Amino acid sequence: MTLPRTAAPLLVSTLSFSILISAIPVHAQTEKVSRQETSPQEISELSLVNQDPLEAPADSINDTIGTSVSQEQSAPKIASPLEQGSTITNDLSDTSAPRSENESDSESSSLSKLRISYDTPPADMPALRLPQDATSRIVALTNDALLKEIELIKLNTNFRMATTEKGRAKPWRVFLYNMAGSAVATAGITTIAAERWRTWQRPTTANRNTLKAGPTMLLISHSIMTGGVLLEAALDLINDHKQHTKGLDAKTTKKRAIELRDAIDQKLTERDSILTSLSEQDRALSTAEGLVLKDIRNMALAEYSQFHVRSAKRKAARNFSYLNGFSAATTGGYLGSLCGLLAVADRNPRLAGPAGIGFTISGANIATGPLLGRATAYLAGKATKSRINRELGTFAPAQLHDHVSLLKQNSLRDDPGLTTRLAIYEEADDIFKRQAQLNAAEKKKTDKEFMERCLYNAIVGGTKMGWGIQLANAGYGFHAGPTPKAPTLPVKVGGKTVKIQVGRALKSPGQLFAHRVAQGATTYIPGTSTWMIDTVQARLRGELDVYSMGSQDALPHQKLKARMSKLDNMETKLKGGPL
Runs of H (alpha helix) within 49-90: 58-70
Please state the rounded mean pLDDT for residues 443-464. 96
Please state the rounded mean pLDDT for residues 86-95. 39
pLDDT band with cut points at 50, 70 and 90 for residue 482: low
Pairwise CA distance, residues 288 & 400, whole Å: 11
Within 10 A of 378 (CB to CB), how many other CB atoms are there? Answer: 13
Residue 61 has pLDDT above 50, yes or no: no
Pairwise CA distance, residues 22 & 107, whole Å: 22
Residue 84 has pLDDT above 50, yes or no: no
| Least confidently predicted of 1-5, 170-174, 501-505, 543-547 | 1-5
Pairwise CA distance, residues 566 & 118, whole Å: 45
Model pLDDT, residue 99: 46
Model pLDDT, residue 505: 62
Model pLDDT, residue 287: 93
Model pLDDT, residue 395: 82
Picking from 352, 368, 391, the residue whose alpha carbon sits closest to that of residue 196 is 352
* DSSP H or E stretch at residue 115: strand 114-118
Model pLDDT, residue 4: 47
Ranked by mean pLDDT, which of 29-33, 60-64, 411-415 comes out on top? 411-415
Per-residue pLDDT tens over the stretch 315-351: 999 999 999 999 999 999 999 999 999 999 999 999 9
Residue 17 has pLDDT above 70, yes or no: no
CA distance to 304, 322, 436, per residue, from 143 (Å):
22, 47, 26
Of residues 227 and 554, more confidently modeled:
227
pLDDT band with cut points at 50, 70 and 90 for residue 484: low
Pairwise CA distance, residues 40 & 557, whole Å: 67
Model pLDDT, residue 493: 77
Model pLDDT, residue 209: 96
Model pLDDT, residue 142: 95
Residue 476 has pLDDT above 90, yes or no: yes
- Please state, for a pLDDT cut of 70, what percent of the chain lies above it: 74
Please state the rounded mean pLDDT for residues 394-398. 80
Picking from 55, 85, 71, 59, the residue whose alpha carbon sits closest to that of residue 12 is 71
The set of residues, in sequence order, having a beta carbon less than 8 Å from that of 516 and lying 6+ positions away, is: 470, 471, 473, 474, 477
Please state the rounded mean pLDDT for residues 434-458. 94
Angle between helices 131-162 and 556-575 (to 10 degrees): 160
pLDDT band with cut points at 50, 70 and 90 for residue 562: very high
The set of residues, in sequence order, having a beta carbon less than 8 Å from that of 154 and lying 6+ positions away, is: 564, 567, 568, 571
Please state the rounded mean pLDDT for residues 383-398. 89
**Is the separation of the CB atoms in 561 and 144 below 8 Å?**
no
pLDDT band with cut points at 50, 70 and 90 for residue 410: confident
Q: Is 526 exposed, middle or buried (0-12, 13-18, 19+ CB in 10 A)?
A: middle
Model pLDDT, residue 503: 65
pLDDT band with cut points at 50, 70 and 90 for residue 498: confident
Please state the rounded mean pLDDT for residues 458-463. 98
Pairwise CA distance, residues 179 & 524, whole Å: 17
Per-residue pLDDT tens over the stretch 269-312: 999 999 988 888 889 899 999 999 999 999 999 999 999 999 99
* DSSP H or E stretch at residue 229: helix 208-245
Picking from 162, 210, 406, 416, the residue whose alpha carbon sits closest to that of residue 291 is 406
Model pLDDT, residue 454: 97
Model pLDDT, residue 502: 67
**Is the separation of the CB atoms in 152 and 182 below 8 Å?**
no
Residue 68 has pLDDT above 70, yes or no: no
Per-residue pLDDT tens over the stretch 142-155: 999 999 999 999 99
Per-residue pLDDT tens over the stretch 104-154: 444 444 434 434 344 444 444 443 344 558 888 999 999 999 999 999 999
Picking from 291, 559, 557, 545, the residue whose alpha carbon sits closest to that of residue 405 is 291
Residue 242 has pLDDT above 90, yes or no: yes
Spell out the long-range contacts of 462-465 with Cβ–Cβ below 8 A and sequence spacing 24 or more. Answer: 462/363, 462/367, 462/527, 463/363, 463/523, 463/524, 463/525, 463/526, 463/527, 463/528, 463/530, 464/332, 464/359, 464/360, 464/362, 464/363, 464/366, 464/524, 464/527, 465/359, 465/360, 465/363, 465/364, 465/367
Model pLDDT, residue 304: 97
